Amino acid sequence: MHRHGYKGRKFNRETDQRRALMKGLADSLVKYESIETTLPKAKEIVPYVEKLITKAKKGDLHNRRQVISDLQTIASAHKLVDEIAPKLSGRDSGHLRIEKTGMRRGDNAQLARVSFVDDLKAEVKPAVVKTEKVATVKKPVAKKPATTKKPTAKETK
């Protein structure tokens, strides 16, 4: 049998269990900003959360509701939209990194740490919009020529 057209890893789980696993991992990643899991799960969770971050950056009501539906808790969805997404605004993609950490003691599975690339602890500076100052040239005001008063006959005496 071929695997053409089958997308993603199955993790020996039913569809609803797999979906709950992804929601739980994504929720933990948003909540703790770094998680350690097995390498296949880490590779599967990164594109899932990247898409959520892209939706959270837009921040409108529809995208906020989509983020809420793809995470386990509403609190973590609001944290992603309100706190984390503005800090990641300088980057278009590649918000997460995977680092291999070691082997698990029980079954010797490869472990990996998934974390955000940018430092989320730093304060966010509001985006400064550079506006060019256009120098306005003042038109010179035409001065009226000074009129000399002709002395009258009474003043000359």
For each of the chain's 157 residues, which pLDDT tens digit applies?
Answer: 788 988 889 999 999 999 999 999 999 999 999 999 999 999 999 999 999 999 999 999 999 999 999 999 999 999 999 999 999 999 999 999 999 999 999 999 999 999 999 988 877 565 555 666 666 666 666 666 666 666 666 666 6
Q: Kindly state the tokens that stand for 133.
A: 């100052």
Residue 118 lies in a domain: yes
Residue 4 lies in a domain: no
The C-alpha torsion from 93 through 129 and 126 to 123, rounded to 10°, is 70
- Looking at the structure of the chain, the number of domains it has is 1
Residue 103 lies in a domain: yes
How far apart CA 99 and CA 36 sit, in angstroms, is 9
Residue 3 lies in a domain: no
CATH number of residue 149's parent domain = 3.90.1030.10
Q: What is the pTM of this model?
A: 0.74
Q: Which long-range contacts (CB under 8 A, 24 or more apart) does 76-82 make?
A: 76/27, 76/30, 76/31, 77/30, 79/30, 79/31, 80/30, 80/52, 80/53, 80/56, 81/56
Residue 5 lies in a domain: no
Residue 1 lies in a domain: no
Identify the domain containing residue 74 by its residue range. 10-157
